[in-house]
Structure 1
Amino acid sequence: MNKAELIEAVQKNLGIDTSKRAASDALDAVLTAIAKGVKTSNVQLIGFGTFKVVKRAARTGRNPKTGVAMKIKASKTVRFVASSALKKAM
């Protein structure tokens, strides 16, 4: 499912009176809130899952084209952990 399909699903769930623009604005608001929230702490949506920042250690990788070893810096990334309710729904 891509963003356009998700917007259509939100529009259908909100009802026939909801415009595609309103559904898009609602989805954008949720995604923006999650992005801002994960900067300061974990974002936990009960029944869905948790978005959290994890640290990746520095490591050695290989350039796939040349095979030369290279250093990859330590970084942070966002990880999603599904809730048990979401796992059972699959």
Structure 2
Amino acid sequence: MRKPELAAAIAEKADLSRDQANRVLNAVLDEITNALHRKDSVTLVGFGTFVPRHRGARTGKNPQTGEPVTIKASNTVAFKPGKMLKDAVS
């Protein structure tokens, strides 16, 4: 499912116009992004938790040549699914 399809499903379930649902979805995604940028976790009870993670610099291997390469430190996001979500997809 892509973002427009998700917005359309929200619009139908919440009795909103597609434009309203799209604005709500964008607002939710913006707030999750802002929280993660501030290094805050975002927990949606039953659904899961988005957690900002820092990956330190490390040595990797070039898959074509096998030579060692340095991989820079970076920030990423981890997601831990909640019990209701796990149960729903099991």
- Which string of whole-angstrom CA distances, capped at 9 and with x for unpartnered residues, describes residues 52-75 of structure 1? 111112122233444432100111
Q: 1:72 aligned to 2:71?
A: yes
Q: TM-score with structure 2 length normalisation?
A: 0.86
Q: 1:14 aligned to 2:8?
A: no
SS of the residue corresponding to residue 47 of structure 1 reads: coil
SS of the residue corresponding to residue 46 of structure 2 reads: coil
Q: TM-score with structure 1 length normalisation?
A: 0.86
C-alpha separation in 2, matches of 1:66 and 1:3: 39
Q: What is the total number of aligned residue pairs between the two structures? A: 88
- Which string of whole-angstrom CA distances, capped at 9 and with x for unpartnered residues, describes residues 9-67 of structure 1? 1111112xx21111110100000010111223111111111011111121222334444
Amino acid at match of 1:35: T
C-alpha separation in 1, matches of 2:63 and 2:37: 32
Identity rate, percent: 43
Structure 1 gap segments, 5+ residues each: none
Q: 1:26 aligned to 2:27?
A: no
RMSD: 1.4
Indicate the residue corresponding to 1:2 in structure 2: 2
